[in-house]
């Protein structure tokens, strides 16, 4: 997919947020990324046909092209280091599908099988070891995942006085303004338990108190 013809990561995530709000209303959290990816991709010739969890050391996630016919699979680690990482990884790989994949057609399978060059594999590597283009793709997929799971409009609406009081710093709690805080970040899967919706990518609450987890 050419850069000139695709949406920005934020726009792509926001469009899906509008869709989810229209269909599901306030029941859309936490976002069911697997169901969303399967449903939305059905409109393409090369849809996502499977989302599978695997337990492989040193592996985060992967968008893998099908080898026999046009289509894709999302693979993700079922034993992540951090709580909630699975949902973020699914959204990250879905972002690669929407933003970065080369659309597949039957013409790519004329020899009966597709080569590996179409795959996107995301490993827990140091970002300073990536090439510029790869780093940009990963950052865009992160941005997409952040805005899909933690929409800015919902954050602004939910962050009322009551919510702010609920998020007052407590022992062992720390507010961090860093979109890369994906470790024990307050995210979509934790929102229902605390009565507020998740924060967006530029304001995350990192919680280390066992009582809050």
Q: Which residues contact 168 (CB under 8 A, 6 or more apart)?
A: none
C-alpha span between 89 and 85 (Å, rounded): 6
Could you tell me if residue 162 is inside a domain?
no
Could you tell me if residue 108 is inside a domain?
yes
Could you tell me if residue 197 is inside a domain?
no
Look at the pTM and tell me if it is higher than 0.85.
no
Tens digit of pLDDT for each residue in 143-199?
999 999 999 888 777 776 556 666 565 554 444 444 443 333 333 333 333 333 333
What 8-state DSSP symbol labels residue 212? Answer: G
Could you tell me if residue 113 is inside a domain?
yes
Could you tell me if residue 177 is inside a domain?
no
Provide the domain count of the chain.
1
Identify which of 180, 175, 184 has the alpha carbon closest to the alpha carbon of residue 201: 180
Could you tell me if residue 188 is inside a domain?
no
Helix or strand or coil: residue 35?
helix
| CA distances for 188 relative to 20, 42, 86, 127, 154, angstroms | 14, 25, 11, 25, 11
């Amino acid at each position: 997919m050419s850069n000139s013809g695709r949406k920005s990561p934020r726009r792509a995530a926001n469009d899906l947020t509008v869709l989810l709000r229209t269909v599901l209303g306030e029941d859309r959290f936490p976002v069911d990324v697997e169901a969303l990816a399967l449903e939305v991709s059905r409109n393409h010739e090369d849809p996502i046909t499977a989302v599978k969890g695997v337990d492989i050391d040193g592996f985060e996630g992967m968008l893998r092209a099908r080898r026999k016919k046009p289509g894709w699979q999302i693979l993700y680690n079922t034993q992540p280091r951090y709580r909630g990482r699975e949902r973020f990884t699914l959204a990250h790989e879905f972002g690669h599908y929407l933003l970065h994949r080369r659309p597949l057609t039957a013409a790519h399978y004329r020899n009966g099988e597709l080569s590996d060059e179409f795959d996107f594999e995301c490993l827990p590597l140091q970002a300073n070891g990536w090439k510029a283009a790869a780093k940009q793709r990963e950052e865009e997929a992160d941005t997409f995942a952040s805005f899909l799971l933690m929409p800015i409009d919902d954050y602004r609406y939910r962050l009322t006085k009551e919510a702010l009081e609920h998020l007052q710093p407590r022992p062992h709690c720390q507010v961090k303004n860093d979109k890369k805080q994906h470790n024990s970040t307050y995210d979509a899967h934790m929102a229902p338990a605390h009565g507020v919706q998740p924060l967006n990518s530029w304001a995350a609450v990192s919680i280390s108190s066992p009582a809050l987890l």
